[in-house]
Amino acid sequence: MHGQFCKLILAASIAMAMGNVAASESQSNTDTRQETQIWTTYALSPDLRANDLKVLVKNGKATLSGVVADEVHKELATDIALAVSGVDLVDNQIVVMSDYVPSEPKPGMDRSYGVMVDDASITAAIRSKLRWSKQADGMTTSVKTRSGRVTLTGNADSQTDKQIAGRLASNTDGVLVVDNQLVVDALKPAPVEAAKGAVEQAQDDVADGWITTKVKSTLMYSSNVSGSAISVSTNGGIVTLSGLVANGVERDLAIELAQNVHGVKSVRSSELRY
């Protein structure tokens, strides 16, 4: 009887120990997940990504360390950490040094996580703008972005189409420079391809909702245009732009971008003022 009781005590002790280990492992996984969420948000933030910030989370408390050049950035780091579910307390040990300059990546080093995400977003935006463009039908275009520098390769039907592709790319938010390597191929499309283009054009003629969405998206993707301040509506392929822009250059660019979208017959811009 005594031996059986000892076995029960031993089994209970083992079960409690295993439960404590499981709980510890669960908390450890939670801490790691929260650290990753905070660090990833820092890496994606244009204001914080260049700083070598460190994050340690334990039982809902995040400890931050590193150096930033502005008190506002230190406060931003705190706000981001507190926004993560389960983080209830932040010990912000980040030092503010007004003359701090983040170190530049060494030659040969790969891009940071945040820069790679930006590059992927730029590539996707340019591909979308080219796909929606009237001039892109005959193009076989490859888009590559590295640290904001875009390279276009492939074929274009004419020098004009090549130039338009370059402008669409260079006017994309985040682009620093465009290396337009498109090769002009003036050969006309085969009859089958021409017929396909005619069918697609006919479909676009009635797709007012599609046109509105693509014009809005093109404006939002583009730098030098306040896409969120411009309203877009479409009726029978006729696009109406309205709202306020900064100047005549921005107004002209918005009109050009809208005119270049598939299915757009004309653009009315009398309500687009500056």
d(CA 131, CA 118): 20
pLDDT digits (tens, 9 = 90+) for 93-131: 999 998 887 766 555 556 777 788 889 989 999 999 998
Q: Determine the 3-state secondary structure of 94 from DSSP.
A: coil
Which residues of the chain are in CATH 3.30.1340.30 domains?
Answer: 193-273
d(CA 131, CA 218): 11
Q: Determine the 3-state secondary structure of 239 from DSSP.
A: strand
d(CA 133, CA 120): 20
Residue 195: band (very low, low, confident or very high) from pLDDT cuts 50, 70, 90: very low
Give Cβ neighbours of residue 73 (< 8 Å, ≥ 6 apart).
Answer: 47, 48, 51
CATH match for 29-103 among 2.70.98, 1.10.287, 2.60.120, 3.30.1340:
3.30.1340
- Assign domain 193-273 to its CATH architecture: 2-Layer Sandwich (3.30)
Q: At what angle do helices 113-132 and 159-170 cross, to 10 degrees?
A: 140
Model pLDDT, residue 117? 84
Residue 17 predicted with pLDDT over 60:
no
Model pLDDT, residue 255? 92
Q: Detail the DSSP E strand segments found in 59-109.
A: 61-65, 67-68, 89-92, 95-96
Q: Mean of the per-residue pLDDT values for the chain?
A: 82
Residue 216 predicted with pLDDT over 70:
yes
Q: Detail the DSSP E strand segments found in the chain.
A: 54-58, 61-65, 67-68, 89-92, 95-96, 140-146, 149-156, 177-180, 183-184, 230-235, 238-244, 266-273
| Domain 113-184 falls under CATH 3.10.129 | no
The more confident residue out of 108 and 81 is 81
Whether the CB-CB separation of 200 and 262 falls below 8 Å is answered with yes
Model pLDDT, residue 203? 47
Main-chain phi, psi angles of 97, to 5 degrees = -130, 110
